[in-house]
Amino acid sequence: MTVTPPPAPRAAQAAPPAITATGLRKSYGDKVVLDGIDLSVPQGTVFALLGPNGAGKTTAVKILSTLITADAGELRVAGHDLAAEPHAVRAAIGVTGQFSAVDGLITGEENMLLMADLHHLSKREGRRVAAELLERFDLVEAAKKPASGYSGGMKRRLDIAMTLVGGPRIIFLDEPTTGLDPRSRHTMWGIVRELVADGVTVFLTTQYLEEADELADRIAVLNGGRIAAEGSAEELKRIVPGGHVRLRFTDPAAYRSAASALRGGAGDDEALALQIPSDGSQRDLRSVLDRLDAAGVEADELTVHTPDLDDVFFALTGAPVPASTHQPKEAVR
Amino acid sequence: MSTLSLAVRDSSTMLRRNLLHARRYPSLTLNLLLTPVMLLLLFVYIFGDVMSAGIGGEGADRATYIAYIVPGLLMLTIGSTVIGTAVSVSNDMTEGIIARFRTMAIHRGSVLVGHVVGSVLQSVLSVVLVGAVAVAIGFRSVDATPLEWLAAFGLLVLFSAALTWIAVGMGLISPNAEAASNNALPMILLPMLSSAFIPVETMPGWFRPIAEYQPFTPAIETLRGLLLGSEIGHNGWLALGWSVGLVVLGYFWATAKFAQDPR
């Protein structure tokens, strides 16, 4: 962690991070799931734990949300020690697990009122909060139907709505968009952004790099029980090379003269496309354009590709991605 | 909020949840109610002549045998109901909502207490329904005083609480509903091996001590004594001892299991 907080008034400076973990370890038998991870999440930010299946993301969430106990590590959530004051931690957090935590046998509204009762809201307050959240998450129509009949997206929305009943200041979302269709995914992203706008701290796990890129202030890549890298999306992208400019032509003659003008680029004779290594800076682009001008050719299409989190992810997690898969992936875009 | 009022409030919330489940999906409860009613009719109308001749000897009729087996069947009804408890606890534990409860600032035991109280209420309701069938086919109590009725009711409640806590423990150690139903099988087998259908004295000698001192026989004999005026003797204390012992054992077993990290 190399976040240097801007100079702030004393009171603000004293605000402790929402979540800290030092040397967090957990193993099941011989299998080490978390092998000493350190992290710190400032209040009011989104932190994404990114990793392939089986990396230990869910275990980390389960531990930080008091569901299971850690083997070792100093853990603080909302200013309370997890081992010593789990009840105080629970009072401050909301959790939406990977598998929907709704009671399928009762209706959406009954689920909401159940949460209100467990947060010890008065009957009237409970009804108000439940109605408000059902409205906000577009569940009014389905409110009187058993939750078991809800679609995946509706279940997830109900799940989050239930999490919000107590007005938690820290929210854990374990793979909130896994299994959702694109529209539901974007709805979920909107929900997360709204939460953060209200000053809530969000700790989410995801296997979608795009999601971490979209939402998170800071991203930690978890692999094999260790944090392989941590930083903002931009910082992580700088770790790996792979930026390039791609030029596409329709005229084979123009393609050939461009290819000779821009030596060093990789050509695709079939698609009439050239790929030139580039860091995407203005100076670099200008030099490419100047050389094209000098050769008197005009590209039909020019796109700049900066390395995305996919590249970072594969580089860090050592996933078996042969270089060739990179090509079709680019071509698809 | 004090720990006690938190416990009471959260437990009653959980109870409401369980009652809502039972009301929405009464099929499980009704299925389990079928067993004691079928057994009652089977033993009275099919095996009735042989059975009544067997227990009463000269002059015994069907009414004598009805009187004999109804207390046992009421206890069996409880055993049958708590199998449903084990199944629904085991089902519940696989639900994501339990994980949510564990991460909320609620009283830890409330989830189980809700199940237990809900199940005891269901047991009592089932006992009343089976009792009504028994009365319909001719069962009458013999000179039971209001105090004896009250004691009988108290015994039924206490005994169902005892079996329920054990059943909750069984539900918690079962990975799925099938396993829970198997693990809870003794709840319906034990009354078969008790004095519910035939007197212990008529069983083989080597088996008699087992039948006599297992939890169901003392409870059945005590209920018989309260409703029909037969000799209770040491069975009253045995029934009380078993009930309280099982409540305590089941409570500590179940809460310890629930406190463990979930799978």
Residue A96 in domain: yes
Nearest CA in chain A to B21: A105
Cβ of B13 within 8 Å of Cβ of A118? The answer is yes
C-alpha dist (Å) from residue A293 to A254, A267, A273:
12, 19, 17
| Candidates B6, B23, B88, B100, partner chain A, best to mutate (most A CBs within 10 A) | B100
Question: Do A269 and A165 fall within a single domain?
Answer: no
Nearest CA in chain A to B88: A105
* Cα-Cα end-to-end distance for chain B: 31
Nearest CA in chain A to B7: A118
Cβ of A87 within 8 Å of Cβ of B99? The answer is no
| pLDDT value at residue A9 | 44
Is A122 in the B-facing interface, judged by CB distances under 8 Å?
no
Q: What is the CATH number of the domain that holds A281?
A: 3.30.70.100
User: Average of pLDDT values for A101-129?
Assistant: 94
Q: Which residues of A touch B104 (CB under 8 A)?
A: 90, 118-119, 166
User: Average of pLDDT values for A12-35?
Assistant: 86
Cβ of A120 within 8 Å of Cβ of B1? The answer is yes
Domain that holds residue A84: 14-238
| pLDDT value at residue A144 | 94
Q: Compute the nearest-CA separation of A62 from chain B (Å).
A: 9
Residue A299 in domain: yes
Nearest CA in chain A to B22: A105
| pLDDT value at residue B53 | 75
Strand-by-strand arrangement of the A273-277 sheet: A266-268, A273-277, A244-248, A301-305
User: Average of pLDDT values for A59-64?
Assistant: 93
Q: What is the CATH number of the domain that holds A103?
A: 3.40.50.300
Residue A321 in domain: yes
Q: Which two tokens stand for residue B205?
A: 């000698």
Residue A2 in domain: no
| pLDDT value at residue A318 | 66
Question: Do A73 and A164 fall within a single domain?
Answer: yes
pLDDT in tens, A239-287: 766 677 888 888 888 888 888 887 767 777 888 888 887 777 788 888 8
C-alpha dist (Å) from residue B241 to B36, B155, B213, B245:
25, 11, 11, 6
Cβ of A101 within 8 Å of Cβ of B17? The answer is no
| pLDDT value at residue A329 | 36
Question: End of a domain among A190, A208, A238?
Answer: A238
| pLDDT value at residue B56 | 64
Which residue reads 């941590």 in tokens?
A: A230
Q: Which residues of A touch B10 (CB under 8 A)?
A: 118
- In angstroms, how far is CA A173 from the centroid of its own chain? 10
Question: Do A27 and A170 fall within a single domain?
Answer: yes
Cβ of B262 within 8 Å of Cβ of A91? The answer is no
Residue A117 in domain: yes
Question: Do A152 and A27 fall within a single domain?
Answer: yes
Quote the Cα angle for A25-A31-A37, to 5°. Answer: 25
Assign A237 a pLDDT band (cuts: 50, 70, 90). confident
| pLDDT value at residue B159 | 97
Least confident segment among A103-117, A140-154, A222-236, B112-126: A222-236
Question: Do A234 and A246 fall within a single domain?
Answer: no
C-alpha dist (Å) from residue B158 to A101, A289, B72, B75, B247:
34, 88, 16, 11, 8
Nearest CA in chain A to B15: A114
Cβ of B13 within 8 Å of Cβ of A106? The answer is no
Is A283 in the B-facing interface, judged by CB distances under 8 Å?
no
ipTM of the modeled complex = 0.85
Domain that holds residue B65: 3-259
Strand-by-strand arrangement of the A93-96 sheet: A93-96, A170-174, A201-206, A46-50, A218-223, A226-231
Domain count, chain A: 2
Question: Do A45 and A129 fall within a single domain?
Answer: yes
| pLDDT value at residue B60 | 64
Distance CA B171, CA B93 (A): 9
What is the number of alpha carbons within 13 Å of residue B164 lying toward its C-beta?
A: 24
| pLDDT value at residue A128 | 96
Window 95-154 of B: residues touching A by CB (8 A cutoff) are 95-97, 99-106
- Which of the two residues, A165 and A265, has the higher pLDDT score? A165
Is A59 in the B-facing interface, judged by CB distances under 8 Å?
no
Of B96, B104, B105, the CB nearest to A97: B96
DSSP string covering A147-162, please?
A: GGGS-HHHHHHHHHHH
| pLDDT value at residue B96 | 82
Of B20, B25, B262, the CB nearest to A67: B262
Question: End of a domain among A209, A238, A267?
Answer: A238
Question: Do A25 and A72 fall within a single domain?
Answer: yes
Domain count, chain B: 1
Cβ of B95 within 8 Å of Cβ of A69? The answer is no
Q: Which residues of A touch B20 (CB under 8 A)?
A: 105-106, 110
Distance CA B187, CA A212 (A): 52
| pLDDT value at residue A91 | 93
| pLDDT value at residue A7 | 47
Average pLDDT over all residues of chain A:
84
Residue A9 in domain: no
Question: Do A262 and A207 fall within a single domain?
Answer: no
Burial profile A196-229: b = 16 or more Cβ within 10 angstroms, e = fewer: beeebbbbbbbbbbebbbbbbbbbbbbbbbbbbb
Question: Do A190 and A176 fall within a single domain?
Answer: yes
Cβ of A100 within 8 Å of Cβ of B104? The answer is no
| pLDDT value at residue A319 | 54
Residue A4 in domain: no
- Determine how many CB atoms are found less than 10 A away from the CB of residue B62: 16
Cβ of A117 within 8 Å of Cβ of B13? The answer is yes
| pLDDT value at residue A256 | 84
Cβ of A106 within 8 Å of Cβ of B20? The answer is yes
Does A10 score more than 50 pLDDT? no
| pLDDT value at residue A323 | 40
Residue A100 in domain: yes
Does A321 score more than 50 pLDDT? no
Q: What is the pLDDT along chain B (263 residues), one digit of tens a residue?
A: 688 888 999 999 999 999 999 888 888 778 888 888 998 889 888 887 777 777 766 556 778 888 889 999 999 999 999 999 999 999 988 888 898 999 999 998 999 999 999 999 999 999 999 999 999 988 888 888 999 999 999 999 999 999 999 999 999 999 999 999 999 999 999 999 999 888 888 889 899 999 999 999 999 999 999 999 888 889 999 999 999 999 999 999 999 999 888 76
| Candidates B88, B104, B106, B111, partner chain A, best to mutate (most A CBs within 10 A) | B104
Question: End of a domain among A214, A238, A262?
Answer: A238
Assign A12 a pLDDT band (cuts: 50, 70, 90). very low
| pLDDT value at residue B263 | 64
